[in-house]
Amino acid sequence: MRSLHTGHPRVRRRRLATLTALLVCVATAWIGSPAATAAPAAGPVSPALVTTTAHPGNQVALTFDDGPSPQYTPQLLQVLRKHQVKAVFCLVGEQVEWQQAQVRAIVADGHTLCNHTYRHRDLTTVSPAEIEADIKQTDAQIRAAVPGVEIPYFRAPYGNWGQSPAVAANLGLRPLSWTLMPGDWELPGTDVLLQRLRDGIAPTGVVTLHDAGGDRQQTVDAVDRLIPEFKAKGWNFDLPAR
């Protein structure tokens, strides 16, 4: 066999290019692309609404809806990072479309994602086919920001589930509900919001707050005070059950 380094320079370059392309194809087939391997295969899971933490006892899960927001999501991430707490962010597709950097920041900090529909519409009377299309569109928008990212949960806007639990479960997403929604969108004041959280949190509870959809400074400030207070009482901040 003749050496690859003999013959006309142009021929040698063509042979090198062909060999390189072949090696790349073999390596890709052996290793697999990151985007293809990072996302878990979709498959049916339980359609029962998730309302508990992954672990028993004095555990509470924090979830945040309607984001991401260019103003309040970064503040909330800073608070969670400071207190070493992981949470679930329920993302709206339209928000993700123009806030991809915030989605990447959420994932980079180790938080979990949840599909919160594309346009935050009431699903009460929406057909299963439309719900499926919406969920897939939202997942695709999220993965356009972070290719291959895991999205284990789905949450229906306003808690109006309609037929979405079965549809989401069939796509491999657990329907994520809550045990406490303290009405942070009412802007009751940070002290009042914090007291609502104190009064309403119960062992293995799932709390729903918001990081977008309006002024969320009270939410950020209340969470910043809540976490160290509950940790001092022996509580842990968990993720929802899977």
Residue 42's pLDDT is 55
Please report the pLDDT score of residue 44 as a whole number. Answer: 74
- DSSP three-state, residue 225: helix
Nearest to 102 by CA among 143, 62, 145: 145
pLDDT in tens, the chain (242 residues): 333 333 443 334 334 333 333 333 333 333 333 333 234 445 679 999 999 999 999 999 999 999 999 999 999 999 999 999 999 999 999 999 999 999 999 999 999 999 999 999 999 999 999 999 999 999 999 999 999 999 999 999 999 999 999 999 999 999 999 999 999 999 999 999 999 999 999 999 999 999 999 999 999 999 999 999 999 999 999 999 99
Instruction: Please say if 65 is a catalytic residue.
Output: yes
Task: Decide: helix, strand or coil at residue 56.
Answer: coil
Amino acid at 180: L
**What would you report as the CA-atom Rg of the chain, rounded to the nearest whole angstrom?**
23
- Check 120, 210, 224, 238 and give the catalytic one: 210
Residue recorded with tokens 């194809």: 25
Angle (nearest 5°) at CA 67 between 242 and 218: 105
- Distance in angstroms (rounded) separating the CA atoms of residues 239 and 121: 25
Chain centre distance of CA 134: 16
Which one is catalytic: 65, 66, 134, 211?
Answer: 65
Q: Is 210 among the catalytic positions?
A: yes
Half-sphere exposure for 60 (CA within 13 Å, toward CB): 22
DSSP notation for 121-181: ---TT--HHHHHHHHHHHHHHHHHHSTT----EE--GGG--TTHHHHHHHTT-EEB--SB-
- How many helices (H) and strands (E) the chain has is answered by 9, 7
pLDDT at 16: 38
